Chains A and B, each alone.
Chain A
Amino acid sequence: AQSVTQLGSHVSVSEGALVLLRCNYSSSVPPYLFWYVQYPNQGLQLLLKYTSAATLVKGINGFEAEFKKSETSFHLTKPSAHMSDAAEYFCAVTSKTSYDKVIFGPGTSLSVIP
């Protein structure tokens, strides 16, 4: 079965520092990958998705993610953290049995320290 792991349930960074949130997937077929963000008391919003057109994917709010097939990774980065980036981040991969369904990782809570 497909699975997604996110290293670090909580990550803290200083304002202005690099943000790196890790995501690894297990997949025996080419995956379709997503990053979602959840702000407090809200649902999930799409940050970016991997379309196989390019290994480096740019998303909203200055985030980007790089697909590395050899490492089965899709880590999310942002060069400079902003206070408004504090949220829960979820990596997701399409299900092996259906492209309509996705498997979510457990999430990483990002704190930004002023």
Chain B
Amino acid sequence: DVKVTQSSRYLVKRTGEKVFLECVQDMDHENMFWYRQDPGLGLRLIYFSYDVKMKEKGDIPEGYSVSREKKERFSLILESASTNQTSMYLCASSLRARGRGHQLNQPQHFGDGTRLSIL
């Protein structure tokens, strides 16, 4: 089974702090994702990485950055935390979609999430 591990389940930080959320996957997946989950809004993509050192902005990248120095690890960085970044953060990984037909819909595998509170 694929395992996606997020370093913290709960985290409390103060406004203005630099915050690091870490995610590790053990299945050699090319793709990794960071989402935030807020009630009524579903999951919104913050950043996507399709290879080491490669990244792509998602729908809500403002106030965030990412780092992918190794294939198995994808870090989310809040440069200067603000209260509106209080949320549940979910990391996911997947195989690259390639080929045709069912090979194009590779499911994402999720970690258990980090509930981040910014005070």
Contact = CB atoms under 8 A, between A and B. Distances in A.
Partners in one complex: yes
- Grouping DSSP codes into helix (H, G, I), strand (E, B) and loop, the A interface class, with mixed when no group exceeds half, is loop
Nearest to B31: A100
Contact-residue size bin, chain B (C-beta under 8 Å from the other chain) = 20 to 34
A52 B102 contact: yes
Interface in A10-54: 32-34, 36, 41-46, 49-53
Interface in B17-68: 31, 33, 35, 40-43, 45, 48, 50, 58
A105 to B, nearest CB: 6
A105 B102 contact: no
Given A100-B31, A100-B94, A100-B96, A53 B40 contact: no
Contacts of A104: 35, 42-43
Nearest to B102: A51
B112 to A, nearest CB: 5
A101 interface: yes
A94 interface: yes
B97 interface: yes
Interface stretch (B69-77, B79-87, B103-111): B103-111
Contacts of B101: 51-53
B48 A43 contact: no
A9 B39 CA distance: 10
A39 to B, nearest CB: 10
Contacts of B106: 99-100
Contact of A105 (B42, B92, B111): B42
Interface string A72-114: 0000000000000000001000100011111011110000000
Given A32-B104, A32-B105, A99-B97, A42 B50 contact: no
A36 B96 CA distance: 19
Contact of A43 (B31, B40, B90): B90
B116 interface: no
A41 B6 CA distance: 13
